[in-house]
Amino acid sequence: MMDWLFEWWDGVELWLVQLWYPLLVTLVLVVLLPVCWYLARVLDRAIDGIGAKLTRVRDAEPPVRTPRGTDVS
């Protein structure tokens, strides 16, 4: 039932490992950097939100982030 998916994935893996190394590194960076950045941002926001809900201080909100990454109170 899932054989077509396994065969497709094997073909993708084979294509990737046969690429010229600089092209492979470029492709991985172009795909993985944005995905990892977005995932880190989502996790950061989620953890800040959970922390704000679990804090003992009522009406606490996560700190506002400036472009430089410093907190504004």
pLDDT tens-digit series, residues 26-49: 998 999 999 999 999 999 999 988
In whole angstroms, what is the distance from residue 2 CA to residue 23 CA?
Answer: 30
Domain annotation covers residue 28: yes
Question: How far is the CA of 57 from the CAs of 5, 8, 45, 61, in angstroms?
Answer: 50, 52, 19, 9
> Per-residue pLDDT for 61 more than 80?
no
27 in a structural domain: yes
Residue 30, domain extent: 17-58
Does the pTM surpass 0.85? The reply is no
The answer to the question of residue 3 being in a domain is no
Tally of domains within the chain: 1
